[in-house]
Chains A and B, each alone.
Chain A
C-alpha cells in the first residue's frame, strides 16, 4: 500500500514538473515567433518602398537581328539595331527619357545616335512640358510604331524611313497630354522646334531629301510650329489623328553655309482600328517645300507617303499574318516606290517576335525599277 502511494506521488510530481517545463517551452516559442513576425514586418515595410520611391531608374528598349535577301543579289545577315531607352524619374513631377540607337554598318563599324532625349515636366494631369530632342509628333509610325517589337513588319513602310516623307525628330519644346470627355479620349501635342534642312543632289540642281534628324541649330531663323490632335474611341477601339506643321527650311550648301529660308509645310492623317480580331492601320504624311527665286535650286517639291496595313493573329496559336500596301512619291522619279508586303510572324511572347516578310517593290515611273526582297527578323522588346 505504502509502495503504491509513493509511486503515485512520484508520477504526479513528474507530471507537474513536465507541465511546468512545457509551459516554459511554449513561452519561448511564442517569444521567438513574435521576433520573427516583427522581422518579417520590417522586411515587408522595406519592400513597400518599391511601390513608390522618390527617384526611379529604369532601362527599357528594343533590339533586332535579321537577314535580307534581295531578288537579284546575295543575301546578308545583319545585326539590325540595338536601342536602349533610359528613364530617370523624380516622383510624379519630372522624367528624363532618352533612346539611343546603335546600328551596324555594312563594313562592320558601329553607328551610334540619339533618337530622342527629353526632360519632361508633368505640369498637371492634362499636360506635360517636353524640352529637348523628341520624335516628331506628326503621325503615329515615327513616334510610336517604329520599335522593332511593335512594328509588325521587318522594315518601316516606304516613305516612313529616315529622311523620307515622314519627319523623324525635332529639337525644341512641346506641350503634350490628354483629357477625356463623353465623346472619347483626346490627346494632343503642340511644338516649336528648329526647322529641317534640305540636302541638294550631287550636281546641286535638285533637292534630294528633307533632313529631319532633329537639328541642334536653327539656320536662317527657320523654326517650325506644329502638332497633332488625336481622338480615341475606346468602345470601338478606333484611333484617329490629324497632324500639321508650318515653318521654314533652307538648302544646305555646306556644313556652315545655308541659303535663305523658304516655306515648309507638313500635313498628316493616321488611324488605327481593332475590329473582329483584325488590327487595321493607315497613315498619310506629306512634306512640302516651297519654291525660292533667290535660291540656286529654285524649285521646291512635295514628298508624300502613305500605307495601309492589316494584321490578324490566329489565336490561340502564336502565328500572325500581316499585309501592307504603301506608296512613296518624291520629286525624284528614281526614288518613288509602290510596295505590297506580306508577312508571317511567330509571336514567342508579347515582346519577342520572329518575322518573315516578302516585299514586292515597283517604281511607277517609266524607265525606273525597284527590287523585290525577302526579310527575316527577330525582334525583342525589353
Chain B
C-alpha cells in the first residue's frame, strides 16, 4: 500500500513538474517575442520548410479558410511549431486559397 502511495506521489510530482516547466520557462521565452498576428511572407517560408518534413505539400486551395485553422493547429502539435509560426502559416494559406 505504501509502495502504491509512493508511486502516486511520484506520478503527481512528475505531472506537476511538466506543467510547471511549461508555465515557467516558456513565458520567459515568449517575453522576448510578443504574440503578433500572422504574417503572410513568414507563413509562406514556414509552410515550404515545415510541411515537407513529413509529407507532400498540400495545395492551399484544398481547404476553406476555417479548415486551414484546425489543420494548422493539428500540425502545430505534430511538428512542434510555435504559436507564431502557426498563425503565420494560417495567414499564408488563407490568403492563397
Contact = CB atoms under 8 A, between A and B. Distances in A.
Interface stretch (A63-71, A75-83, A121-129): A121-129
A126 B78 contact: no
Nearest to A248: B7
Contacts of A230: 80
A56 B66 contact: yes
B29 to A, nearest CB: 5
A58 B67 contact: yes
Nearest to A97: B74
A287 B82 CA distance: 30
B56 A127 contact: no
B70 A239 contact: no
Contacts of B4: 221
Interface string B54-84: 1111110010111101110110111111111
Interface in A151-196: 173-180, 185-192
B80 A176 contact: yes
A350 interface: yes
B12 to A, nearest CB: 9
A150 interface: yes
A288 interface: no
Main secondary structure of the interface of A (DSSP, over half): strand
A124 B7 CA distance: 30
B22 A175 contact: yes
A244 interface: no
Contact of A185 (B6, B26, B35, B80): B80
A191 B22 CA distance: 12
> Looking at A144, A145, A150, which has the most chain B CB atoms within 10 Å of its CB?
A144
Given A89-B73, A191-B18, A232 B56 contact: no
A95 B26 contact: no
A85 B77 CA distance: 14
Nearest to A126: B26
A149 B26 contact: no
B55 to A, nearest CB: 4
Given A123-B26, A191-B18, A177 B80 contact: yes
Contacts of B64: 50
Interface string A90-132: 0010010100000000000000000000001011111111100
A239 B40 CA distance: 24
Contact of B10 (A56, A95, A145, A223): A223
A144 B3 CA distance: 37
Given A50-B64, A89-B70, A232-B53, A125 B30 contact: yes
A173 B70 contact: no
Interface residues of A, number: 62
A310 to B, nearest CB: 15
Interface string B8-33: 10110011001101110011011001
A189 B71 CA distance: 20
A181 B76 CA distance: 17
> Looking at A95, A120, A177, which has the most chain B CB atoms within 10 Å of its CB?
A177
B74 A126 contact: no
A192 B66 CA distance: 33
Contacts of A173: 15, 18-19
Contact of A87 (B29, B49, B74): B74
Contact of B26 (A57, A85, A124): A124
Nearest to A222: B7
Contact of A221 (B8, B18, B23, B50): B8
Contact of B27 (A53, A124, A130, A177): A124
A185 B30 CA distance: 15
Interface string A336-369: 0000000000010011000000000000000000
A188 B19 CA distance: 14
22 contacts: A50-B65, A53-B66, A56-B69, A58-B67, A89-B70, A89-B73, A92-B73, A95-B77, A123-B26, A124-B22, A150-B54, A175-B19, A178-B79, A187-B80, A187-B81, A221-B4, A221-B6, A221-B7, A223-B7, A232-B50, A272-B53, A350-B59
The 3 closest A-B pairs by CB, nearest first: A187-B80, A221-B7, A125-B83
Interface of A: 50-53, 56-58, 60, 85, 87, 89, 92, 95, 97, 120, 122-130, 140, 143-145, 147, 149-150, 173-180, 185-192, 221-223, 225, 230, 232, 234, 237, 239, 272, 274, 347, 350-351, 381
